[in-house]
Amino acid sequence: MQHTNIFESYHIGEGTFDEMYQGKDVRTAYQGIFNFLKSNSPEDLTMKEELSKRLFMSQGITFTVYSSGEGIEKIFPFDIIPRIITADEWDFVERGIRQRLKALNLFLKDIYSHQFILKDGIVPTDIIYSCPHFIREMHGLKVPHDIYVHISGIDIIRGGDGTFYVLEDNLRTPSGVSYMIENREITKRIFPDVLRRNSVRSVTQYPTLLHKNLKSLSPRQVANPTVVLLTPGMFNSAYFEHTTLARLMGIELVEGRDLVVENHKVFMKTTYGLQQVDVIYRRVDDDFLDPLVFNKESVLGVAGIMSAYRKGNVAIVNAVGNGVADDKAIYTFVPDMIKYYLNEEPILSNVPTYHCADPEQLEHVFANISSMVIKKTNGSGGYDMLMGNSATEKEIEDYKKAVIKEPRQFIAQPIISLSTTPCYINGKLTPRRVDLRPFALFGPEGIEIVPGGLTRVALKEGSMVVNSSQGGGSKDTWVLA
């Protein structure tokens, strides 16, 4: 039986690249899922959608929202239709990310030691020293294997003609990888046999690769170094991810209060007494890591941990101070870094970016504000930004005032019309905008990128903001062999 009605209302926006359709034709990569969807009635698909929700709930893939003293479990919205990336596209993206990551890691090493890139005038000195994430305590601190960015999530988008752009680099504590793994598990349940028939590459090796890398960073030469995952605790919205990763790697999930520093060594408090910790995969931000060095009020971190780090008695993943390399103002210089450190042309392009601190560029931004998005350089989560095409006049005026007050804090980019993929919403397939966050692991043996990633999708009609805090959801991401 053929059911075609779910495709009826699929209209691709003008000047938008659609991942599934090329004009009236379905792209080859999507043919398999297209046929599968056609053979299912809308009722079947709705049941699959409900099953996916139930599975997330029952497996506790949730975050807790606390209101009036009571916790309510929420699921991160999941759209059942996968987002598909062809082998060629993936090859390109993967090469681009490797190159970019190599340069960014060299940049961090340079910026916290000799600062050649500043002396050679490639990156302006003031942009570094005015960055709140530039951590002076990191200067001259030797990190194992010179690796700073062990885990990164570089956000990729596609413009109107299908070109890949890097939207931003996440080099601190990027989250979402558990959804890459769990979304795939859900797909296995709701679309039996479909993955195999489409030769989708597996993502399950991620925890094993990460664990191997973490172990290899141990400062002590012991057979089984103690590796822990440091979480801010269960009130953190990514707590599910922390528990999942700890479980999949078989490492201890610790909180700040489980650790103590003695004689510049980090120990965890066990029933047997103190046990030395060698590697800490921390999901606590720099600011909260060590109340003796950073935020004095922090109870999430461990007093003295920076001194142990400085002495080389413990490895911290990711390195402290990475924020200086993924700041939105530094972003503009990444193509120059690639040329400077690697003597290569950048494979992945940046989105054109204007610095509001530069009066000429600011003038240009204000003149074209209706086609611009203005962001805070250290903002995240899709907050505090202005979408010039949809903001009211008052919002624009207020935002302009804020920009004029502290221009260093802002950058602007022309609004890129993100590519769309089909989503199953209210019984119909409807195009929604997506981005892609592949997760790259940088270990002593090189960079490995698991074929897949987190596809975030703006579930609100017409919205360009994919952040989960702003009505975004996610999709399973298929990379074809």
Partner 1 sequence: MLSRVADSLFWMARYMERSDGILRMLKVNYNSSQDNLSDFSWQPVLKVFTYLDGPAIIELDNESSEVLRYMILDKENDNSVQNIVIHARENARSVQDNVTIEVWQCLNDFYHLIRDERHINSLAEGDAISVIDLMVKQCLVYYGTVDITMSRGSGYCFMSLGKFLERALQSIDILDVKLGSMSAEDTQAYDTLYWKYLLMSVSGYKLYLKNYQSGFEARNVVHQIVLNTHFPRSVIYSLDHLHRNFEQLSAYLDKASFDELNFEIGKLRSKVRYSTLNDIEAMGLHTYLADIKKDLSDISSKLNQYCFAYS
In angstroms, give the least distance from the CB of 218 to partner 1: 19
80's tokens = 């059942």
| Binding residue for partner 1, selected from 6, 81, 246, 300, defined by CB under 8 A | 246
| Binding residue for partner 1, selected from 11, 189, 220, 247, defined by CB under 8 A | 247
Question: Residue 465 CB: number of other CB atoms within 10 A?
Answer: 20
Task: Considering only residues 174 through 233, tell me which ones interact with partner 1, judged by CB under 8 A.
Answer: 233
| Binding range to partner 1, per CB under 8 A, among 53-61, 290-298, 394-402, 442-450 | 53-61
- What per-residue string of b and e applies to 263-300 under the rule 16 or more CB within 10 Å gives b? ebbbbbeeeeeeeebbbbbbbbbbbbbbbebbeeebeb
Distance CA 289, CA 295 (A): 8
| Binding range to partner 1, per CB under 8 A, among 20-28, 157-165, 248-256, 436-444 | 248-256
Nearer Cβ to partner 1 (141/248) = 248
By the rule CB under 8 A, 481 interacts with partner 1: no
| Binding residue for partner 1, selected from 22, 31, 46, 59, defined by CB under 8 A | 59
- The identity of residue 89, as a single letter, is E
Task: Considering only residues 250 through 279, tell me which ones interact with partner 1, judged by CB under 8 A.
Answer: 250-255, 257-258, 268-273
294's tokens = 């950073």
- The sign of the CA dihedral 311, 312, 314, 315 is positive
Site string for partner 1, 69-108 (x = CB under 8 A): -xx-x-----------------------------------
Residues 217/312, Cβ–Cβ less than 8 Å = no
Half-sphere exposure of 29 (CA within 13 A, CB side): 21
Nearer Cβ to partner 1 (59/115) = 59
In angstroms, give the least distance from the CB of 116 to partner 1: 43
By the rule CB under 8 A, 243 interacts with partner 1: yes
By the rule CB under 8 A, 57 interacts with partner 1: yes
| Binding residue for partner 1, selected from 47, 65, 222, 234, defined by CB under 8 A | 234
| Binding range to partner 1, per CB under 8 A, among 9-17, 184-192, 239-247, 437-445 | 239-247
CB under 8 A, 24+ apart: contacts of 112-117:
112/138, 112/139, 112/140, 112/141, 112/321, 113/139, 113/140, 117/337, 117/340, 117/341
CB under 8 A, 24+ apart: contacts of 58-64:
59/182, 60/240, 61/178, 61/182, 61/240, 62/240, 63/237, 63/238, 63/239, 63/240, 64/234, 64/235, 64/239
Using CB under 8 A, count the residues that bind partner 1. 28
In angstroms, give the least distance from the CB of 58 to partner 1: 6
| φ/ψ of residue 384, rounded to 5 | 55, 30
In angstroms, give the least distance from the CB of 37 to partner 1: 30
By the rule CB under 8 A, 28 interacts with partner 1: no
In angstroms, give the least distance from the CB of 170 to partner 1: 24
By the rule CB under 8 A, 356 interacts with partner 1: no
| Binding range to partner 1, per CB under 8 A, among 36-44, 55-63, 317-325, 460-468 | 55-63
Half-sphere exposure of 102 (CA within 13 A, CB side): 20
Strand partners, 26: 21
| φ/ψ of residue 468, rounded to 5 | -65, -30
Provide the binding-site residues for partner 1, judged by CB under 8 A: 57-60, 70-71, 73, 233-234, 239, 243-244, 246-247, 250-255, 257-258, 268-273
